[in-house]
Amino acid sequence: MLRYAFWRMMTAVPTLFVVVTLSFFMIRIAPGGPFDQERALDPVIRANLERTYHLDLPLVQQYGIYLKNLLHGDLGPSFTMPEFSVAELLHAGLPVSIRIGGLALLLALILGGAMGVIAALYRDGWADRAVVGFATAGSTIPTFVVAPLFQLVFALGLNWLPVGGWNDGAFHNLIGPVICLMLPQLAVVARLMRSSMIEALHTHHIRTARAMGLSEAAVVGRHALRSALLPVVSYAGPAAAALMTGSVVVETVFSIPGIGRYFVDAALNRDYTVVMGAVVVLAVFTILFNLIVDIAYTLVDPRVRYD
């Protein structure tokens, strides 16, 4: 297992290199620049700014400088917020995104998994129909619709929760963003667990376990659940990376100071270094969580082995 993890980390290096390279050239080729404004800058000031940030050099040279700095852990300064470095912005926003994303994923896995199991055990019953209906609605209604409706009902209408803001992560300020982030993931997890549990309950070893006289709780909890968890574990990896590195819509609607908002503002203002910093963080999280998922396979199903 340790050798497998080592080689996976080694193969992650060229993957990260390709992601960084493609992202660097794609954002630079896009029209516009960090110093393009409605009112044009003085040519002398613009030239000085471009020289300061090496934007006057050929694109290949700019890439070489960025790659060299990245290897030394330097993500560079922000073009539009020169008083902050990209590392400082990520240091401020990433814990916020991880907190709300981690809570949303945890609740989605627990509640969605339980709903999927119940739907599979009572297939074609009212519970199954309710879960399928909820999962369909949750996966089709976009977050940019759910979030404003949540604010309209629970904040402006009932006055139970604040409209937005972070307030140092107070409990009342967490409820709205976490629920809105959780609902789409909850729907997907419930559907995955339902279908995989139905399939697991019809396998031969489950029939054998029931023929041996094991209780239904033992059959479901000790045998069927392990097999049914594998698709959910596979989905949890990329979902965790996406949620914990910031949700653009939710953080914008609820005015949450996570890296999702920084990414949006940077993309609109062509702040190249901030966009690249967010891409690097997302790529690292995706690679890391996919490795964790592979290792979790061996814990969920002992039959899985990596040579």
Q: What is the pLDDT of residues 243-302, one digit of tens each?
A: 876 677 888 888 888 887 777 778 777 888 888 888 888 888 888 887 787 777 776 666
Higher-confidence position of 35 and 228: 228
In order, the DSSP letters of 184-215 are HHHHHHHHHHHHHHHHHHTSHHHHHHHHTT--
Burial class (CB in 10 A: 0-12, 13-18, 19+), 60: exposed
The count of C-alpha atoms lying within 13 angstroms of the C-alpha of 220, restricted to the half-sphere facing its C-beta, is 16
Neighbours of 277 (CB within 10 A): 25
Q: 85: which strand partners?
A: 77
So what's the pLDDT on residue 307? 56
- Angstrom distance (rounded) from CA 236 to CA 290: 9
Judge whether residue 233 has pLDDT over 70: yes
Q: What whole-number distance in Å separates Cα of residue 263 and Cα of residue 274?
A: 7
Residue 306 has pLDDT above 60, yes or no: no
Cα 183 to Cα 137: distance, rounded to the nearest angstrom: 10
In whole angstroms, what is the distance from residue 131 CA to residue 149 CA? 22
Total Cβ atoms within 10 A of residue 202 = 10
Q: Mean pLDDT, to the nearest integer, of 230-235?
A: 83
pLDDT at 301: 64
- Residue 264 is which amino acid? V
Closest CA to 34 of 79, 84, 77: 79
Question: Residue 240: how many CB atoms within 10 A of its CB?
Answer: 25
Residue 56's pLDDT is 79
> What is the amino acid identity at position 99?
R
3-class SS at 237? Answer: helix
Question: What is residue 107's predicted lDDT score, i.e. its pLDDT?
Answer: 92
Residue 85, phi then psi, degrees to nearest 5: -90, 165
pLDDT at res. 37: 62
Binned at pLDDT 50, 70 and 90, residue 111 comes out as: very high
- pLDDT-derived band at 41 (thresholds 50, 70, 90) equals low
pLDDT confidence tier of residue 231, bands split at 50, 70 and 90: confident
